[in-house]
Amino acid sequence: MGDIKSAREIAMEKLEKLGEATEEERLKWKLEPKGKELAARYLKEDCNLLAELSQYQDEERKYIVAGASEVLVRNVELPRNEAIRRTNKKAMDGLKLIKNDKARVESAHSRIRQIFTHYTEQGAQQRRQAYEQLRAQFEARVQQAIQQQLGSNARMRVDVERQPQFQEEWRRMQLQLDAPYLEHLNEYRREILSID
């Protein structure tokens, strides 16, 4: 039978196989988090992204931009309210500032705007209709249950919108309605991350 190794011994063997980290890997590990912090500060405090980036050499800047891009792209969401709309605009403006291929970023941004326009116009109408239909179905089910328990003449007004089952079903339906928009948005987010 072979020797039984401790978890530490196994981990040390794996580390030896990996070898030393390259200088590039070390730079990436050090600078991408700084880029993420910079993007978060930009979104919250309105710092000057270009001025902050100019403090780094070209070799370092690509890692800062990669980290910042990740945070900015992650903050582009479906415009469910005005605060998200403002954050979306600021995140996209920041991406246009830090990316080299401005035309490709603008192209992706244009397609994202089309998704957002559809989401706020036709999507809002679909959500309203789905909500009303769901509410009517729930009211009918609740009235039927009341009549079965209390008799066919029983009429009680129940606010179904406050019922946990209704709220849970509505959340599930919203996820379904948002799924196609999110699918396209995620595609454009990935595209933006791949742009220099």
Mean model confidence pLDDT for the chain: 90
Residue pair 71/36 in contact by the 8 Å Cβ criterion = yes
The pLDDT confidence band at residue 170, using thresholds 50, 70 and 90, is very high
Name the pLDDT band for 3 (thresholds 50, 70, 90). Answer: confident
pLDDT in tens, 65-97: 999 999 999 999 999 999 999 999 999 999 999
113 pLDDT more than 60:
yes
- For the stretch 44-57, pLDDT in tens is 987 899 999 999 99
pTM reported for the whole predicted model? 0.79
Task: List pLDDT tens digits, range 119-163.
Answer: 999 999 999 999 999 999 999 888 888 888 877 666 677 788 888
Q: Report whether 181 contacts 119 (CB < 8 A).
A: yes
Instruction: For residue 2, name the pLDDT band (cuts at 50, 70, 90).
Output: low
Residues of the chain with pLDDT > 70, as a percent, come to 95
Q: Say yes or no to pLDDT of 1 above 60.
A: no
Strands (E) across the chain are located at none
Start-to-end CA span in the chain (Å): 54
CB within 8 Å of 101: residues ≥ 6 apart: 195, 196
DSSP one-letter code for 119? I
